[in-house]
């Protein structure tokens, strides 16, 4: 049996079931809260502690939010449990590999400010990533106090996905941020995502995560200065946990066909209605997409962003698949070479 302490920080039957064959008295179970060089910080039944894990984050083996099984005697990590949800973006570089941001969160607060940086296509990018992860997105619009018409932005954001929850607030005020506590109850895990300066750490503080450093904003463009520099998981007074993330400047989607198709289900349906095969849907008379844009049923921006995100993720999926195929063939030739060598040895 697990203690309420583990349950409060997200332990549930999905993870419990993975321990069926393990003698529980010989292990410690803990959740990764941060990386510090060659160490990871963990929350366990008895509070926070650190253990060394070599290069764990770089090779994607252990991410913030992961559950680890450690030997009770020497606190060596022996196993990482299978993940329930996984939030990732495309890693920097040409290889198109996914880079894991956070594991095992139930909800993602997609934070965007009601100022000149408000951008629907940017929110859609985070939405695709969140749906792909299997987590529930909630759009949080901050800096409502600096905007004359926040209600219009809320309405625009609501249109992005059926039943999408959108909350708007002055993130500095706990009494306003409190509407988010619905998602922060015992056992719930939430991640904050959004560009630098939108108010992620301010929100975390308002929700009671502790005293995280918040930043100043550049006067000229209202952008942040990358105040938060590492990802960290915090316990909330409401019972759940919250992961604060550094602001992501520009990120690309990893292979995430399901997330994109889910987000743009309406667009996919309209495209399916187009009677022309190989239609470019770019204004030809009779094209279903063109008709939907002209009638106002489909927003031109939304269609353009759908194409952009679809193509981006499929390009990365293809690069990954090609690389896997090359590796498979290379290992095939390697195995064949060993087999030939063995045969020659046996024959001689």
Ligand X SMILES: Nc1nc2c(ncn2[C@@H]2O[C@H](COP(=O)(O)OP(=O)(O)OP(=O)(O)O)[C@@H](O)[C@H]2O)c(=O)[nH]1
Beta-carbon-side half-sphere exposure of residue 273 (alpha carbons within 13 Å): 13
> Shortest gap between Cβ of 155 and ligand X (angstroms)?
19
Using the rule CB under 6 A, is 259 a contact of ligand X?
no
| Cβ at position 298, least distance to Zn ion in Å | 11
**Choosing among Mg ion, Zn ion, ligand X, none, which partner's interface includes residue 279 (Cβ < 5 to 8 Å by kind)?**
Zn ion
Element (H, E) at 290: helix 288-295
Distance CA(140)–CA(167), nearest Å, equals: 5
216 binds, among ligand X, Mg ion, Zn ion, none (CB under 5 to 8 A by kind): ligand X
In the bound state with Mg ion, the residue whose beta carbon lies nearer, of 70 and 138, is 138
Considering only 287, 292, 298, 309, the residue that binds Zn ion (CB under 5 A) is 287
- Residue 76 CB partners (closer than 8 Å, separation 6+): 51, 70
Nearer to Mg ion, 153 or 203 (CB): 203
Nearer to Mg ion by Cβ, of 142 and 313: the residue is: 142
Instruction: Give yes or no for residue 8 binding Zn ion (CB under 5 A).
Output: no
Q: Does 201 bind Mg ion (CB under 5 A)?
A: yes
The length of the chain is 348
By C-alpha distance, which of 176, 253, 179, 174 is closest to 209? 174
**What does 199 interact with, of Mg ion, ligand X, Zn ion, none (CB < 5 to 8 A by kind)?**
ligand X
Q: CB under 8 Å to 199, separation ≥6 — which residues?
A: 111, 113, 142, 143, 171, 172, 214
| Tokens representing residue 167 in the block | 């909350």
Which x/- pattern over 265-284 shows residues binding Zn ion (rule: CB under 5 A)?
A: ---------x----x-x---
How is the beta sheet containing 165-168 ordered, strand by strand? 165-168, 136-142, 107-113, 189-193, 241-244, 232-235
Which of 195, 199, 192, 179 is closest to 241 using CA atoms? 192
Considering the complex, what minimum distance in angstroms separates the CB of residue 279 from ligand X?
Answer: 41
- Single out the residue of 104, 117, 189, 214 in contact with ligand X (rule: CB under 6 A): 214
Which of 170, 196, 180, 175 is CA-nearest to residue 114? 170
- Measured at CB, which residue is nearest to ligand X? 247
Touching ligand X, residues 277-316 (CB under 6 A): none
Which contiguous run of DSSP H or E holds residue 201?
Answer: helix 200-206
Nearest 5°: phi and psi at 138? -130, 125
Q: Which is nearer to ligand X, 60 or 215 (CB)?
A: 215
Kindly state whether residue 196 participates in binding ligand X, applying the rule CB under 6 A.
yes
146 binds ligand X (CB under 6 A): yes
Binding site for Zn ion (CB under 5 A): 274, 279, 281, 287, 289
Q: Which residues bind Mg ion (CB under 5 A)?
A: 200-201, 227-228
The residue ranges that bind ligand X (CB under 6 A) are: 142-143, 145-146, 170-172, 194, 196-202, 214-217, 224, 226-228, 246-247
């Amino acid at each position: 049996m697990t203690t309420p302490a583990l349950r409060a920080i997200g332990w549930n039957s999905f993870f419990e079931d993975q321990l069926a064959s393990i003698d529980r008295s010989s292990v410690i179970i803990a959740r990764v809260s941060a990386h510090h060089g060659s160490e990871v910080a963990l929350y366990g039944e008895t509070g926070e502690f650190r253990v060394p894990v070599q290069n764990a984050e770089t090779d994607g083996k252990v991410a913030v939010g992961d559950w680890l099984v450690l030997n009770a005697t020497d606190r060596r990590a022996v196993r990482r449990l299978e993940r329930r949800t996984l939030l990732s973006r495309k890693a920097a570089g040409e290889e198109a590999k996914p880079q894991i941001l956070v594991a095992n969160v139930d909800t993602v607060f997609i934070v965007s400010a009601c100022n000149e940086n408000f951008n629907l296509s940017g929110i859609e990018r985070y939405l695709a990533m969140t749906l792909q992860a299997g987590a529930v997105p909630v759009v949080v619009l901050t800096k409502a106090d600096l905007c004359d018409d926040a209600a219009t932005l809320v309405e625009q954001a609501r249109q992005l996905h059926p039943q999408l929850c959108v909350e708007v607030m002055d993130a500095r005020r706990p009494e306003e941020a409190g509407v988010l506590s619905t998602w922060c109850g015992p056992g719930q895990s939430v991640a904050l995502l959004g560009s630098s300066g939108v108010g992620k750490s301010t929100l975390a503080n308002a929700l009671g995560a502790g005293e995280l450093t918040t930043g100043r904003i550049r006067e000229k463009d209202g952008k942040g200065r990358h105040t938060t520099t590492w990802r960290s998981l915090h316990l909330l007074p409401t019972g759940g946990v919250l992961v604060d993330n550094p602001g992501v400047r520009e990120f690309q989607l990893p292979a995430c066909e399901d997330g994109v198709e889910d987000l743009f289900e309406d667009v996919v349906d309209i495209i399916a209605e187009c009677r022309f095969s190989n239609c470019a849907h770019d204004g030809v008379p009779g094209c279903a997409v063109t008709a939907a844009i002209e009638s106002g049923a489909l927003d031109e921006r939304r269609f353009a962003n759908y194409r952009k995100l679809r193509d981006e993720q499929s390009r990365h999926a293809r690069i990954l698949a090609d690389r896997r195929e090359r590796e498979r063939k290379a290992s095939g030739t390697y195995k064949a070479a060993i087999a030939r060598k063995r045969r020659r040895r046996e024959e001689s």
